[in-house]
A and B are shown apart, each in its own frame.
Chain A
Amino acid sequence: MSHQSAFPWLSTDRLDTTLAKVGILASVLLLSLRLFSTQVLFVVIPVTTGLACALYFGVHRRQTTDTEYPALPRWVIDILPAVVIVSLTALVGTMYAAGGRSPSSYFLAGAVGTAILTQALLADESDLSPSLIVTQVAVSAVVIRLSVLFVTPGFVGVDIWTHVPVFIDSIVDTGSLSAIADSKYSMAPFYHTIGALAALVFGSARLGVYLSLGVVVPLSVLLVYATGVMIVSPRWAAVATTLFAFADQYIRWGLHIIPTSLGLVFFLGAIYCVTRLCITNERWVIAVLMVSSLATVFTHQVSTVILLIFLGIAAGALTLARLRGRPALRPSRESVAGVAGVFVGTLLVTGASWSVTPWYADEPFLYEILNTLRATVIEEAGFLALAGGNGSSTGGTESVSQLAGVIPFVEWLGFALLLATGIVGGLAMLRTDHPMSLTLTYLASTATMFVAVFGLSLFGIRTILPGRWMAFMYALLAILGVVGLANLSGTASKRVLVAVFVLLAVSYPMSMVVAEKATLDSPAFEETYPRFSYTGAEIAAVETISAIYPSDGTTDIDSDHPYRTLFGRLGGYTGWTTEVGEAGPTRDHPVIRRAYQSHGPAVVHATDPPRSVLAPMVNAERLCPPTRNKVYTSDKVSMCTSTPVTGGAV
């Protein structure tokens, strides 16, 4: 019976439907934030939340009959695995022929995702083969990532240029981990150690990282299936596996393979263990959870923070469920003690490790990071302090394309679908008979990460690198999402199910594989996002210039962003973004100009007024005036230096 209330439609008896109503109301209110900011997420998140809550509320009373589940004919389901493999073959072939990604390779990657999701979502129960679907997912995940890595010269991303050519190569050269002793990885050496051993086995650091961590990261999607199948049926676990494998943020860490990538693998292991401990009480699971957690601490700091939050919430949820949960679904004492013990142990090891980890300043990492966080909260935080944050339509630069305003909506469609299914799943979890500890852990963890990614960014707090959290959150969202889809399959009408499944199968992979973070090497929207990979000529220029213009570690050099980062990491320079006035560069630093600046959305700084501008909007002769010496050139890159002879003008 409902309680007497001033708002009778807000019943506490049915928390799921009450929250759905609140969600609809909140989404309308949140839409008003769009008036204060151009952030596309102020549209995407409220609309997605509102639609998901409305969908859940609209169908929650129904009970689907068996005949209502939409299914494709068996021959279609049977032929799709071959379609997936042939598409992957075509993908490899086209990328090899084109020397990189092209529109056809994006389409093929999306088509592979669609073909797999179609099997998982639209196969009749008797035709369904979860193991075959998961095999296709694993093969696709590896092929899509490795084909990109092997056709791209050098590396994809920014940080990897420090981790592999500097740290791992140094370890291999010296035969000792002392090569990273002065970095913040001195107490987190797992990634570099694995990379170094793989480099020894495969003959080069690049090949070593690609054939070890580059394979482990996509294959770790198996842990999503293993986790999902403990909560939902194999069909939905296979769907979760596919959703995660094709998520842009997960693809990102399979291309830009850095300690975050390995931290994500360990996090997936931790999710598996915690989920299992919510249901069972095996000691080996506690042992594996401890190993995964400590491995995270010894791999990557941001991943450690995310893991600690997840473990803390899980420990609290298990404790609460032990005290208040339904007797039949209470977690065992061993499980509660196990998760709490792992949390405390990981916290202590983290504190001890960080207190002796060097960072940029003299103080240890723990002190410095707390100081930075405090300074951010006190000095920088402010409501809607969003510049440069996630979801900005053009990254705050002057755009060269009118389409730039539409592109984020295309990209964020995949995220919106994942979020929508996750919201439906979260509401469904509140009603179905999952253990309380499991429900609390998933909902609270996902909500906390969501706040960390989007909520704190709203206040300008980005010290915690919210972009790094998204892939971790996606893992939980994918599992919550399939709880929602499983729930819908039992409540929604056939027409609704067909609409949802077709939208998901077609739009999700297509949107995700063209998103900015999934295409760092060669953005699908090449006029909007810069590529974070380099041509052979661009890499050779850094190597040659660093040889003929050696840096003492503080030598300045200017170029566009992101090319300047390559000079910083591979060349050992202090790389600056070129600052250009009406007459040319405003600083005396050598300027590196590359052909990409003529057409790609690389960024330079302009004065009067000070702002970031896309390089194609600046005349080439302003960036590298003929009045400077031109002391290096290839067909694609040149270096010009200031000279007292002309003083900048002839």
Chain B
Amino acid sequence: MSESRRSDESTDSAAGDENGVTTRARRWPAKIDTDLGVVVVGVVGSASVLLSGISGPVSWLLGVPFLLFWPGYATVSALLPMAAGIDTRPNATADSTELLSPGWPARLGLSLLLSTVVVAIVGIGIDRVASVRLTPAVVAISVVTVAGVLVAAYRRRRLPLTARAAPLGTGRPRIGSWISRSGSVQSSRHRWTLVLAVVLLFATASFVAATPAHEASYTESYLLTENDTGSLVADGYPTTFVVNESRPLAVGLKNHEHRSITYTVDLVVEQVGPNGSVVGQQRVDRFRVNLAHGERTVVERRVYSPLTGDAVRLEARVYKTSAPPITDEPDQTTHLWIEVVEPTSG
């Protein structure tokens, strides 16, 4: 077994005592453990912000630890009141297996894991007694987390000072000294390079998160007809027209072009020969519609065919302009095959 079994990441020195915990006993502190205080402030603050309806990056920054870290950290702190990397055996003997409390990587990992469990159980609980809504969820998670903090604080106070888990110490936060302790890059120049790199990453990630990614531009167009219940659907299209008798048809458009567009739609009928060639065509309708980005419309028209035949193509030609030159190819087309017959006499 390697040296790692002796310590995950020892943070406190340890020595034997008569209480069964192999650390030095000191008098209990009067101040609250800073890490637990941070959890309470974090949870209450996050809950207030989330319940106030603030959304966007602020809710992301507060919501992530609220769901993923604070509940689990409170639970782990309650489970493991002792400091990292100390021997907690009640009756240690020389030949027994070494038993050191988990280091901070383990506690952080377990905090994430137990946060998911706590959040899931809270969700199932509120589903039973209330409903899965924001307010009961936030309140329940906050209550459970604060309860965990209270249990952790109680259990820590039953241990001597040096045996307690207190990564940020007690009383006023000393983040600066904590960071300098954890710094591992040896030279000052390299440390600053690393800090600058981290700032750069954070700035880039923030910019990317705040700026919508570029999306492709496109337009959706479709043909609809009325079904038995009066809804416009893309099914059950009319297949037989009587020449020059109009029938209802709807054209749907949705603009995803990231700009406002006036579309021109031509409805054209084409007589198609046996080999697929167009032997005759006529525009039977034209309309324009202006749509902002993200806007959708369905335009109901009546169409007719002056041309007859077994295979007439009724085409909707969409131009992304208000005045398409006559020679322009359409930007999009949709079509229906129809049979156009002469009116029956009598």
Contacts and interface: CB of A to CB of B under 8 A. Distances in A.
Interface stretch (B30-38, B145-153, B161-169, B220-228): B220-228
A183 interface: no
A79 B132 CA distance: 49
B322 interface: no
A201 B59 contact: yes
A645 B216 contact: no
B102 to A, nearest CB: 7
Contacts of B115: 216
Interface stretch (A43-51, A158-166, A461-469, A622-630): A622-630
B334 interface: yes
B27 interface: no
B63 A202 contact: yes
B110 interface: yes
Given A226-B105, A548-B233, A194 B120 contact: yes
Nearest to B276: A650
A634 B219 contact: yes
A628 B337 CA distance: 7
Interface string A599-626: 0000000000000000000000000001
A537 B257 CA distance: 11
15 contacts: A85-B198, A86-B200, A89-B201, A202-B59, A220-B109, A226-B103, A230-B8, A269-B113, A282-B99, A535-B216, A536-B215, A544-B252, A630-B334, A632-B223, A632-B334
Contacts of A284: 79-80
A194 B8 contact: no
A322 B68 CA distance: 38
Interface stretch (A286-294, A353-361, A417-425, A440-448): A286-294
Interface stretch (A31-39, A126-134, A307-315, A396-404): A126-134
A276 B156 CA distance: 22
Contact of B132 (A132, A196, A328, A631): A196
Given A79-B190, A265-B113, A632-B334, A129 B233 contact: no
A545 B234 contact: yes
A48 to B, nearest CB: 26
B190 A197 contact: no
A272 B114 CA distance: 13
Given A282-B99, A643-B239, A644-B239, A132 B184 contact: yes
A172 interface: yes
Given A234-B4, A292-B113, A548 B184 contact: no
Most buried by A among B68, B112, B211, B220: B220
Contacts of A131: 9, 105, 182, 184
Chain B contact residues (Cβ within 8 angstroms of A): what range? 35 or more
Contacts of A216: 68, 112-113, 115-116
Describe A's contact surface by its main secondary structure: helix
Interface stretch (B18-26, B122-130, B280-288): B122-130
Given A99-B214, A127-B186, A633-B333, A143 B205 contact: yes
Interface stretch (B133-141, B170-178, B261-269, B299-307): B133-141
A108 interface: no
A7 to B, nearest CB: 33
Interface in A171-223: 171-172, 175-177, 189-190, 193-194, 196-198, 200-203, 207, 211-213, 215-216, 219-220, 222-223
B323 interface: no
Interface residues of A, number: 116
Contacts of B194: 81-82, 85
B346 interface: no
Given A220-B112, A645-B310, A197 B333 contact: no
B106 interface: yes
A78 interface: yes
B295 to A, nearest CB: 13
Contact of A200 (B5, B79, B80, B132): B132
A81 B235 contact: no
A646 B110 contact: no
A194 B335 contact: no
A211 B63 contact: yes
A243 interface: no
A505 interface: no
Nearest to A217: B112
A225 interface: yes
Interface of A: 74-75, 78-79, 81-82, 84-86, 88-89, 92-93, 96, 99, 127, 129, 131-132, 134, 139, 143, 147, 150-151, 153, 171-172, 175-177, 189-190, 193-194, 196-198, 200-203, 207, 211-213, 215-216, 219-220, 222-223, 225-226, 228-234, 236-237, 262, 265-266, 268-269, 272, 276, 279-282, 284, 287-288, 291-292, 295, 298, 328-329, 332, 433-435, 486, 535-537, 540-541, 544-545, 548-550, 626-636, 639, 641, 643-646, 650
Contact of B213 (A78, A99, A332): A99
A104 to B, nearest CB: 15
Given A176-B132, A230-B5, A279-B5, A549 B67 contact: no
A129 B8 CA distance: 13
B39 interface: no
Given A129-B184, A540-B256, A626-B276, A231 B201 contact: no
A329 to B, nearest CB: 7
Contact of B124 (A193, A228, A544, A639): A193
B218 A635 contact: yes
B65 to A, nearest CB: 10
B208 interface: yes
Contacts of B2: 231-233, 236, 486
A88 B202 CA distance: 10
Contact of A176 (B127, B184, B233, B237): B127
Interface in B309-346: 310-311, 332-339
Which of B59, B184, B223, B339 has its CB near the most chain A CB atoms (within 10 A)? B184
B222 A226 contact: no
B8 A229 contact: yes
B234 A645 contact: no
A180 to B, nearest CB: 11
A172 B132 contact: yes
B222 A544 contact: yes
A232 to B, nearest CB: 5
Contact of A175 (B133, B209, B252): B133
Nearest to B240: A645
A592 to B, nearest CB: 12
Given A150-B209, A220-B109, A295-B116, 10 more contacts: A85-B194, A176-B132, A211-B63, A215-B68, A216-B113, A219-B68, A295-B120, A631-B237, A631-B336, A636-B218
B143 interface: no
B52 interface: no
A184 B117 CA distance: 19
A632 B222 contact: yes
A410 B18 CA distance: 61
B337 A645 contact: yes
Interface in B87-113: 88, 95, 97-99, 102-103, 105-106, 108-110, 112-113
B21 to A, nearest CB: 14
Given A194-B123, A644-B239, A220 B59 contact: no
A633 B131 CA distance: 41
Contacts of B60: 202, 207, 211
B66 interface: yes
B254 A540 contact: yes
Contacts of A548: 222, 224, 232-234, 252
B50 interface: yes
A219 to B, nearest CB: 5
A264 to B, nearest CB: 11
Contact of A201 (B66, B99, B337): B66
A269 B110 contact: yes
Interface string B177-217: 00000101111001001101110110011001101011110
A597 to B, nearest CB: 17
A282 B106 CA distance: 15
